[in-house]
Amino acid sequence: MTAALVVIDMQVSLIEDETPNTDEIMSAVFRLVERARGDGVPVVWVLDTGVTPDPSLHPVFKPKPGEAVVRKDVCNAFVGTTLAGELGGRGVDRIVVCGMQSDACIDETVHAAPNYGFAVTLVGDAHTTHDFHKRDFRDVIATVNANLAKLKDVEVVGLAEVKLA
């Protein structure tokens, strides 16, 4: 299988305004991006156009020439975007997913991917969400991981176990 790393919504306002584990998620995603690039695995950046006040990709992350940047306006990164075409054009049949928000954009994109012909590896410790409304963000992540792991064509693995190439 040919893989691509899909990095979802690592945007300034989401990270700086909503993320309780900023250092942890930034480090995990950065390491995945560096591993993918080192292994020659395509990196695809997904950005949510509805993020305010600063929707830009966090400056720690700088897309390299040839890396696709896909803009979406709903949680599911496949709906109304070029994501499936960007992946298919690179011969990809498996996506490795990381980023934000676990219970929204991560969940919906991972759910949808098999319908577009892509198997999914979700990096279970490389996605996060906020802890608004007195909820524990780690419980949300664990629940999302458990629910997505039950789906056909989806596996959930840890950062140390993920295979990119």
- Three-state SS for 57-116 is ECCCCCCCCCCEEEEECCCCCCCCCCHHHHHHHCCCCEEEEEEECHHHHHHHHHHHHHHH
What's the chain's average pLDDT?
96
DSSP state of 11: B
Identify the bridge partners of residue 154 per DSSP, sorted by sequence position: 120
Sign of CA dihedral 122, 123, 124, 126: negative
Q: How many residues does the chain have?
A: 165
Q: What is the pLDDT of residues 31-77, one digit of tens each?
A: 999 999 999 999 999 999 999 999 999 999 999 999 999 999 999 99
Inform me whether the pLDDT recorded for 26 exceeds 90. Answer: yes
Query: Between residues 45 and 1, which one has the greater pLDDT?
Result: 45
Q: What is the pLDDT of residues 101-143, one digit of tens each?
A: 999 999 999 999 999 999 999 999 999 999 877 789 999 999 9
Domains of the chain as residue ranges with CATH? 3-157 (3.40.50.850)
In this prediction, residue 132 carries a pLDDT of 74
In this prediction, residue 1 carries a pLDDT of 76
Write the CA distances from 9 to 14, 64, 152, integer angstroms: 8, 17, 25
Q: The whole model's pTM is what?
A: 0.97
